[in-house]
Amino acid sequence: MSKTVLITGATAGFGKASAIKFANHGWNLIITGRRAERLEELAQSLTGKINVHIAELDVRDESAVKHMVDNLPDDFKTVSVLVNNAGLALGTDPSYAANLEDWKTMIDTNVTGLTLVTHALLPILMNNHPATIVNLSSVAANWAYPGSHVYGASKAFVQQFSRNLRCDLVGKGVRVTSLEPGLCESEFSLVRFGGDQEKYDALYGGANALQPEDIADIIYWVATQPAHININSLEVMPQTQAWDNFKIVRES
């Protein structure tokens, strides 16, 4: 019987690439996101290969999340992999110049949205073990950098939530992974830079950044390890990215 994966934020980047990766391996898909036309296009492109259920969804909307999970068609109720991918960063200004609405949106999406989806789907995953939750955290969870403030903190939440979930789910057939990528080329930075294409090009120019397909390969690998293996956390950077010296501001 075909397996089923639910992916949040499947309209772009890692989520879309993951949908294609799982579909290429015969998995049925539940694809979600706010831009329904993109979900339709993705489903159309996979027609004939596998079964796709589309759910237009804002992960911040508690009743919509519950409605989506409670109303999964029978054929899709055997979902055994959740890719908690929907998320975003807004802005790169220092905290004292940041927009409070941006902070709220990041917390509502990356923290609250991810927990709403997890809470709603956990009973189903526990019924369909071996199951896997792959949570998209970030290198920003592990390493501080200027302008990361709430984004990095939201991803640190995702990492620790993943570890804490492991404690509850150990022995219950549900694995949990915190995936922590570094620089990856996707719409993510266009969203973060408020649509500024020049800034986007400057960031990725010559950087040979990770690609969404690289992350999709890793997500698929994590989810298809033998059932006795749990990848707790996995940090990945492009070869061209590394840490740098701490900044020291000298008093004159």
Interface segment toward ligand NDP; rule CB under 6 A; list 21-29, 53-61, 90-98, 166-174: 53-61
Quick check: 186 binds ligand NDP (CB under 6 A)?
yes
Minimum CB distance to ligand 8X3 smaller for 139 or for 216: 139
Nearer to ligand NDP, 44 or 252 (CB): 44
- What CA–CA distance (Å, rounded) separates 66 from 121? 9
For position 200 contacting ligand NDP by CB under 6 A, the verdict is: no
Residues belonging to the active site: 151
- Options 3-11, 71-79, 165-173, 227-235: segment touching ligand NDP (CB under 6 A): 3-11
Handedness of CA 53, 64, 140, 178 (dihedral sign): negative
Give min distance, CB of 139 to ligand 8X3, in A.
Answer: 5
Q: How far is CA 40 from CA 16, 30, 31, 43, in A?
A: 12, 12, 10, 5
**Residue 213: CB minimum distance to ligand NDP, A:** 11
- Which residue type occupies 136? L
Q: How far apart are CA 250 and CA 81, in angstroms?
A: 50
From the list ligand NDP, ligand 8X3, none, pick the one residue 235 interacts with, judged by a Cβ distance below 5 to 8 Å according to partner type: none
In the stretch 116-155, what mask flags binding to ligand 8X3 with x, by CB under 6 A? ----------------------xxx-------x-------
Burial 31-46 (b: 16+ CB within 10 A, else e): bbbeeeebbeebbeeb
Contact 36, 56 (CB under 8 A): yes
Pick from 31, 182, 186, 223 the residue near ligand 8X3 by CB under 6 A.
182
Of the listed pieces 56-64, 66-74, 94-102, 159-167, which binds ligand NDP according to CB under 6 A? 56-64
Do the Cβ atoms of 100 and 46 come closer than 8 Å? no
In 161-244, DSSP assigns E strands to 174-181, 233-236
Report residue 139 as tokens: 């290198």
Give contact residues for ligand NDP (rule: CB under 6 A). Answer: 8-15, 33-35, 57-60, 85-88, 109, 113, 136, 138, 181, 183-184, 186-188, 191, 212
